[in-house]
Structure 1
């Protein structure tokens, strides 16, 4: 009779421990997967929002010619270079440049942090040019900051409409001036 009691005790112990083992494996239990998914999404959403805020503050500072406000958006590592170049002849805060329009066009995750693409219109005298820029925003300690600025991508300029496939290339105009 002993073997029957042992089997019964083993079966009862297994049935008691089975729910705990299944929850430990992720089967059953309370919907613990749902909060985990929310916390995984939250950092990505926060990164995008914080990056957008930093770059928008920098663009606003450029428009207002507020060098201190612009500097405060940058990571500390960039401060010395910014101080030397910001108001120089080609600096973002140069006196002869005006920034009538600046807009964020895209925010995405990149290899070195969040990449925030912008379109900036700059005027100098009567000349106006619009340039794409990409700001890299990263977390430095507990805060977000701009870690880099680079030229953005522009679409290849097309001087003529696309030709249908198989058609001959256009001939040069023999009389270009008139």
Structure 2
């Protein structure tokens, strides 16, 4: 019994040390990006990233809840193109609005998360020629709260999984 208590005590101390380390050392600025090369011209890829409706065909975050409610507004593919989503606990609630567009090259949008956590982020889709195809880079940038710094390694794993799934689905669609 003493051995189990010692092990538990050591694990608790290590968890506390990690939390303190993460809060003090990890940057509050969070950036994640993932890229894929799609074997088609950027004009064809743009059809799937150039508007919020087009993105939600392959967006893994929108597909995580089959009963998600999405309301679109603004002019598709232009600054102000936006949508509001409300889903289950995994998907939460929020809004995404296009803030800058360079057709066939870059789309920037602001994400505003309402539930389960309040927060803002900026996302980009950047298309660049790569050989006979198009390199698509998906980025997200936001500011982490002190408590979110502790979860940064888990966030990186989750973002890698979701961005990878989304870019894979985008590649499949665009290469048809």
Q: Normalising to structure 2: TM-score of the pair?
A: 0.30
User: In proportion to residue count, which structure has more strand?
Assistant: 2
CA radius of gyration, larger in = 1
Greater RCO, CA 8 A, separation 6+: 2
Q: Normalising to structure 1: TM-score of the pair?
A: 0.30
